[in-house]
Every structure is written in C-alpha cells, then in structure tokens.
Amino acid sequence: MICLNYRDSRPIYEQIKDELRKLIVTGAMAAGEKLPSVRALATQLSINPNTIQRAYNDLEGEGYIYSVPGKGSFASDRGDADAQRRALLCGKVRELVRELRELGVTQEELAALLREGETK
C-alpha cells in the first residue's frame, strides 16, 4: 500500500500523505473507504504514530479524508479537493517559472523541462 523511501529528502509524513493522496485520486481507494487506523499503519510501517497522525491531519485539512469520532478516517469523495490542489500546484509552478525567467532561463529550456517531466 505505502512504500517509504528513507533516502528521499521529503519528511516521512509527506511521503505518507502523497501516497495516500495518490491512492484516493486514482480511485485505488474508493470514497468512503476506511483508512488504516493510525496505530495499525504506524505498526505496519514501523514508525511513530504521531507521524501518521500528522499526515492524516494534513489530508483532512486538504479535503482528501474525513474523520468520524470513534470510527476512524475515511477517504473523501474529493469534491473540489483536486481543484484546490491543482490551483495550489499551478501557483507554485508560476512562482518557479518567474524565478527561472529572472535567472535567464529561456522559453525553450522551460519547454524542455516540461517535456522531461512527462517522461518520468
């Protein structure tokens, strides 16, 4: 379900968050499907439960999951969470492009970067 890369520069909670988000967005985890409990996932991944809780809290804040007290966490139907995430990422890309242009990167170099990203 979730694979952690300890050589990745991203924090563990972000890796967990990204993996769960990917499962929800691709439909591998259906809307309303129960996520593993914090303790169960922490045990499975051999990490601190606080790390899992932080990932779950962030995902809930982004609208990808919801919690029912005493029942657990569940995958959301995503509603506009995808649109919000897309808008956030597009904003980040715009900032990066602006900064790259200020550093003298040409339009052709930017296009090559985009093509390179498609092949990965």
Cα 26 vs. chain centroid, distance in angstroms? 12
- Asked if residue 88 and residue 59 are part of one domain, the reply reads no
62 and 92 co-located in one domain: no
Give the CATH number of the domain where residue 58 resides: 1.10.10.10
Residue 87: the pLDDT is 80
pLDDT for res 120? 58
The answer to the question of residue 3 being in a domain is no
Domain count of the chain?
Answer: 2
**Predicted local confidence at residue 81, as pLDDT:** 61
**Do 68 and 93 lie in a common domain?**
no
**Residues 71 and 18 occupy one common structural domain:** yes
Residues 20 and 59 in one domain: yes
91 in helix, strand or coil? helix
**48 and 95 together in one domain:** no
Residues 33, 66, single domain; the answer is yes
pLDDT at 113: 86
Strand 72-75 relative to strand 65-68, pairing: antiparallel
Encode the chain (120 residues) as per-residue pLDDT tens digits. 788 999 999 999 999 999 999 898 888 899 899 999 999 999 999 999 999 999 999 999 988 999 999 999 999 886 566 677 778 788 889 999 999 999 999 999 988 888 887 765
- Report which of 2, 12, 87 is spatially closest to residue 54, judged by C-alpha positions: 12
Distant-in-sequence, close-in-space partners of 20: CB < 8 Å, separation ≥ 6 = 2, 29, 35, 55, 59, 64, 65
Looking at the structure, do residues 34 and 55 belong to the same domain, yes or no?
A: yes
Residue 51, pLDDT score: 97
Does residue 1 belong to any structural domain of this protein? no
Q: Are residues 39 and 90 in the same domain?
A: no
Collect all residues with Cβ–Cβ distance below 8 Å to 29 and sequence separation of at least 6.
20, 23, 35, 75
